[in-house]
Structure 1
Amino acid sequence: MILKGFKEKSIKNKFNTILKAQSVTNKNHTVKNVGVIFNIEEVDDFEMFKSLADSLGLLPNAVQVIAYANNEKDAAFSWNTCFHSKDFGWHGKITNVELETFLNTEFDLLISYYCEDILRLKLLTAYSKAKFKVSIFQLDKRLNDLIIETKVNEFDDFKSELVKYLKVFNKIQ
């Protein structure tokens, strides 16, 4: 129990270190590929993220989606690219190869679609090499470039607002 607390503290320290080291880049780019991170306990219909590609004028294979489950049992039965707390080591080290590959992909847009304040989800958003990060409401404003304040079950509202803002920022046509 004590070791688990120390591990959580080391992950939190790594998270804060990543956020302090982030630099703002003002790259003017269009969205050609999208990554999505979501919490499987908040969203059960992952197909809605595939419909996002059409709204952004992208091919369906331009959207990569990963899910987070609180325990390993949910991860095994629910989603083909799912991760859980055991995929993180000390100091926030990623121990899952698929997850590491996802994080090293330079997405033009990363969508963090979760509301719960889960350290591992926030760490993934911080680790991502995405050029532009968007989320629904989150407490930590340092994580994302754009926050669209909608509820998790209001995906259509989120999608329409996202498209509107990406057009304003000249990220899509």
Structure 2
Amino acid sequence: MILKGFKEKSNKKYLNKLLLERQVQVADSKIESLGIIFNIDEIDDFERFRELAEYIKVRPNRVKIIAFSQSEKEMQHTWDVCYNPKDFGWKGAIKNAELQTFLNTKFDALISFYDKDLLELQLITAISQAQFKIGILQSDERFNDLIIKTKLEEFDVFKEELFKYLTILNKIKNE
């Protein structure tokens, strides 16, 4: 129990260090690859995210979606790529090779679609090598470059606003 508290403090310290060192780089590149992180305990319809990627004109083979769950047993059968707190070690260390691969991938954009301030979700967002990070409003605004203030239940509003702002920023490919 005490070690769990020390581990959490260690990860929070590492997260804060990442956020302080983060340098925002604005590029004129179009979004061709997309990573999506969501909390399966809050929203479990992952097909919405595939539709979202198609809506902003990202090819299906260039989209990677991962889910996070607080519980480890019940979600293993319903989702292919689902992570839990056991996949994280001390000082932000990632114990899962697939998750590490996701984090090392240089996506053009990363969508963090979760509402709860869970340390593990925040670590995934902060560690990700994505060039442009998008999310819904959270307690700490340093995680994302573009914040769309919506609720989780208002996914269609999020989708429309995302398309609108990506069009304004000239990030959507013309096919």
The residue type equivalent to 1:54 in the other structure is E
Q: In the alignment, which residue of structure 1 is the partner of 2:141?
A: 141
Gap regions ≥5 residues in structure 2: none
Q: Tell me how far apart the structure 2 counterparts of residues 43 and 126 of structure 1 sit (CA, whole Å).
A: 21
Where does residue 13 of structure 1 map in the other structure?
Answer: 13
The aligned runs of 1:40-51 (5 Å cut-off) are 40-51=40-51
State, as a whole percentage, how many aligned pairs show the same letter.
53
Q: How does 1:19-38 map to 2 (within 5 A)?
A: 19-38=19-38
Whether contact under 8 Å (2:24, 2:145) holds in the other structure is: no
**Deviation, structure 1 residue 54:** 1.8
**3-state secondary structure, aligned to 1:77:** coil
CA-to-aligned-CA distance 1:98-117 (integer Å, 9 cap, x gap): 00000000010100000001
Is the contact between residue 75 and residue 84 of structure 1 (CA under 8 Å) also seen in structure 2? no
Letter in 1 for 2:4: K
User: Do the aligned residues in 1 keep the contact of 2:19 with 2:142 (CA within 8 Å)?
Assistant: yes
Provide, for residues 22-49 of structure 1, a one-character-per-residue CA deviation record: whole Å limited to 9, x for no partner: 1121221100011000000111100100
1:126 match: 126
d(CA) in 2 for partners of 1:26, 1:153: 30
**What secondary structure is seen at the aligned counterpart in 1 of 2:162?**
helix
Matches within 5 A, 1:75-86: 75-86=75-86
Q: Within 5 A, what are the aligned runs for 1:91-170?
A: 91-170=91-170
Q: Is the 8 A contact 1:12 1:119 kept in 2?
A: yes
Structure 1 runs of 4+ off > 4 angstroms?
none
Deviation at 1:139, TM superposition (A): 0.8
**Rounded Cα–Cα distance in structure 1 between residues aligned with 2:157 and 2:169:** 18
Q: Indicate yes or no: 2:59 matched with 1:66.
A: no
> How big is each residue's C-alpha offset from its partner over 1:47-78, in whole Å with a ceiling of 9 and x where there is no partner?
10000122111222221100001021133122
TM-score (norm 2): 0.96
Which range moved further: 36-45 or 50-59? 50-59
